[in-house]
Amino acid sequence: MLPLLAVVYFGGYILLVGCFVIGVMGVREFFSGFRAADIHPSGAIAYISAAGLYAIHILSLGAGFNMLWFFAVVLTSFLYMFDIAKRKIFDGIVTLTGIFYVIYFSYHVALVEGISGYSLMVWLVFITAFGTDIMAYFTGMAIGKNKLCPNISPKKTFEGAIGGVLGSVVFCGVFGYFFAPEIIIHCLIIGGVGGIISQLGDLTASVFKRHLGIKDYGNLIPGHGGILDRFDSVLFTAPMVYYYITLILN
C-alpha cells in the first residue's frame, strides 16, 4: 500500500488519476462478482460514466453538469434493461449500484483534496479507514468475545468494533495535533464518526460477498484480495469526510 501514500502526498492530478483507476478497477471487480451469480451489469456504461464524471471535474463544468451526469447514469442503466429477451432487471440495477457505490463514492477522495483550505484533510479519509481496520483487528484478536454480525462477518466482534473507533479517534487526533491544530476537535470528531462509518463500509462489502458466495472481489493485492477488498471502507469514509468539511467547516 506504500504507492498509495505517494499518490496522496503528491495530490493534484496524480491523486485524481489514482481515484479514477481505483474506481474503474473496483467497479470491474464488483461486476465480476455478480457475473458469477448470472447477473450481467454493463461495464461499458460504468466506464463511460467514470470518464464523464472525471471530465466534468477536470473541466470544472459546474453543478448543472453534475446533475446531468446523475440523470444520464440512471437513464442509461434503465435503458440497459430494455432488451428483456436477453437481460434481467437486476442487470440494470447492479449497473446503477456499481456506478454510484464504487465510482461515485471513491470520487469523493478527489473532492476532499480539492476543498480550498482543507485539502490536507484528505489524509483523514485513509487514517479513519485503515486506522479503524488495524485497531479493530488487533483489539478483536486480543479481547474480542462477543460477535458483532456473525451472519455477515463471523470474525468481527463488538470489542473489536469499539477498539477500531477509539483507534481512529487517536490516530486522527495525532494527525490534527501535528498538522491541523486549529481544527483538532473536528479531527477527533471525524475520527469517531469515521470509525463507525468505516466499519459500515466494510460490512456492506461483506454483505455483497455473502450474497454472491465469494470470499474476495479479486486477487490483485496478495493477502488482501482485490482493490475493492482493500478500499471498501474508504468508499464510505471519503463521502463522510467531504460532507463534514463542506457542511460543518466550510
Per residue in 51-94, pLDDT (tens digit) is 999 999 999 999 999 999 999 999 999 999 999 999 999 999 99
pLDDT at 17: 96
Tell me how far CA of residue 140 lies from CA of 36, 122, 231, in angstroms: 32, 27, 20
Q: Is the pLDDT of residue 159 over 80?
A: yes
- For the whole model, what pTM was predicted? 0.94
pLDDT single digits (tens) 31-40: 999 998 999 9
pLDDT at 3: 77
**Phi, psi values for residue 19, rounded to 5°:** -65, -40
pLDDT at 1: 63
pLDDT single digits (tens) 126-139: 999 999 999 999 99
Q: Is the pLDDT of residue 221 over 80?
A: no
Of 121, 148, 118, 125, residue with least CA distance to 136 = 148
Where does the pLDDT of residue 216 fall: very low under 50, low under 70, confident under 90, or very high at 90 and above? confident
Are 41 and 95 within 8 A, CB to CB?
yes
pLDDT at 5: 82
Q: Is the pLDDT of residue 150 over 80?
A: yes
Tell me how far CA of residue 187 lies from CA of 67, 143, 248, in angstroms: 31, 27, 12
pLDDT at 215: 84
